[in-house]
Chains A and B, each alone.
Chain A
């Protein structure tokens, strides 16, 4: 296994693919690692397989998905070393990366690391969300893209965000029975968001696509209930239905075999947290992001971030940010003059501006609501791993708990295998709401490596120089 590289790119989504293609094109010895079996990232998941073996599904996923094939082909044509099914469990300031590949652990050394780790769906801690039969809407879309699978029986999609309408349309096209879409967006949200319409028109294709998705659902006769609140999943051993309140305050219930939840996507910050990079708080979309310069360099200079893990700007903007991070990396490593970096960056920055112009509108319109824990009933689970409820967290705050790290000692919250990926945001929000202080003041879990499971056997088999990382549960 070759261990020394100029650049290691983490992630083979649009940001990672373009970063790697650009870096290799500038003569940098570049490696791409991704824990998925094939390139494409979340948006273009399984795009090669779909376009070669499942062409009927390709037609359903449309040209936006097909665009991923161009990116992947350009990447493949460049013959850049690419290790799929390779997870990164640690990065260090010195450019060391801990990886697992085929069950074995190893260490790599890079002069620069570009993390293009993407986003995750925001966890939606509502009553009943841990029941079998409940899944993220993005998770259901993964099943469709990667395996041609669709939900059986009556399916209800609840929450908000561009992905709600997209997934509802795609699954319906594919033959799923979408019984209803429960959207938390209100009339007032539309009025507020209209203030951003002018800037969004620079990217009017996004707005038009959004409208087309609404029209499609309407034509299909799929009811879209707007302005819903207090959504909960009903059922004892598995999901049996959904209850919600309409804008007039009337409670309704619907039978459902599958419930798909979605409240937007948030940056994957596990890598930047593990390196203790400086993070900021996005006030409208309520997520943490690593603070960077225009090229994606974090507060740790060895590490640049690109794509949605740097802040949610979507797949097209991710392409530009990947290339910008690669240009800057080439300059730092002496392959490209600063003048040439700037010259090449101009068109990329313009492209990025065009594709981020719609964000203020989307951010305002699709504010997370279901996942905000202020009104969450006490018996609702926030930490799925350790089964810690909102009530237990409120009690801990009443007993003097000030933030997420202290909460671990009070309740074990955040100490399970997901390392807070599923509760970190809601826990910070809930503590902040209880203490009546800003979320920034409450902070986030301290994340220690390994951030992906590594077996003790794999570590023991690793080169003897490697420091043994602490146990993930020993925090």
Chain B
């Protein structure tokens, strides 16, 4: 869906694992941007009908970027900045927001 204009060499970037794929991105990239760069077409499916959704607003408004980040579900991936070694997963369904322990 999106591509980076410039490649980020591993030594300059942050490497995270998204749905099993390693991707290296510039240090202050959001998880949602990294997910798009990793080639994910959608980042979650909806709890109501199970249809796929992708980040829409990129600024914390739409909540269509909810992903599981380091084991915590319902994180707004567009507001979370990548950290080395982060593990991110696509989120299927899961309605309750903020119910993480």
Contacts and interface: CB of A to CB of B under 8 A. Distances in A.
Nearest to A49: B28
A457 B101 contact: yes
Contacts of B76: 453
A85 interface: yes
Interface residues of A, number: 58
B54 interface: yes
Contact of A456 (B1, B3, B98): B98
B64 to A, nearest CB: 6
B17 interface: no
A74 B96 CA distance: 42
Nearest to A257: B1
Contacts of B55: 135, 139
B99 A258 contact: no
Given A35-B79, A473-B97, A139 B1 contact: no
A132 B97 contact: no
A37 B97 contact: no
A429 to B, nearest CB: 18
Interface stretch (A141-149, A293-301, A353-361): A141-149
Contact of A37 (B4, B28, B49): B28
Contact of A143 (B28, B58, B96): B58
B46 interface: yes
B45 to A, nearest CB: 10
Interface in A100-149: 120-121, 123, 130, 132-136, 138-140, 142-143, 146-149
A387 interface: yes
Interface in B31-90: 33, 36-37, 41-42, 46, 48-49, 51-64, 66, 74, 76, 78-79, 81
Contacts of A258: 1-2
Given A132-B42, A152-B3, A453-B98, A146 B29 contact: yes
B98 A472 contact: yes
Contacts of B26: 49, 53, 147-148
B29 A387 contact: no
Contacts of A454: 98
A147 B29 contact: yes
B28 A148 contact: no
Contact of A148 (B6, B41, B81, B98): B6
A149 B30 CA distance: 12
A172 to B, nearest CB: 13
Given A37-B28, A135-B58, A148 B97 contact: no
Interface stretch (A282-290, A414-422, A437-445): A414-422
B16 to A, nearest CB: 13
Nearest to B46: A387
B41 to A, nearest CB: 5
Interface in A385-438: 385-387, 416-418, 421-422
Given A148-B4, A150-B5, A175-B5, A35 B57 contact: no
B30 to A, nearest CB: 7
A473 B96 contact: yes
Nearest to A270: B61
B57 A132 contact: no
A120 B57 contact: yes
A35 B96 CA distance: 22
Interface string B1-13: 1111110000000
B18 interface: no
A453 B4 contact: no
Contacts of B101: 455-457
A384 B5 contact: no
A147 B62 contact: no
A147 B59 contact: no
Contacts of B48: 386-387
Contacts of B4: 147-149
Contacts of B5: 56-57, 148-150, 174-175
A132 B76 CA distance: 16
Nearest to B60: A35
B56 A136 contact: yes
A90 interface: no
B58 A136 contact: yes
Interface centre among A152, A238, A455 (most CB of B within 10 A): A455
Contacts of A37: 28, 81
Contacts of B58: 135-136, 138-140, 142-143, 146
Contact of B54 (A123, A133, A149, A456): A133
B48 to A, nearest CB: 4
Nearest to B96: A473
A146 B57 contact: no
29 contacts: A35-B60, A35-B79, A37-B28, A54-B6, A123-B62, A130-B53, A132-B41, A133-B1, A134-B54, A135-B55, A135-B57, A136-B58, A138-B57, A139-B55, A142-B58, A142-B78, A143-B58, A146-B33, A148-B4, A148-B5, A148-B26, A149-B2, A150-B5, A151-B2, A152-B3, A238-B52, A258-B1, A416-B63, A472-B98
Top 3 nearest A-B pairs by Cβ distance?
A132-B54, A139-B58, A142-B58
Given A135-B57, A148-B26, 8 more contacts: A35-B60, A121-B61, A147-B25, A150-B3, A387-B49, A422-B62, A453-B76, A473-B97
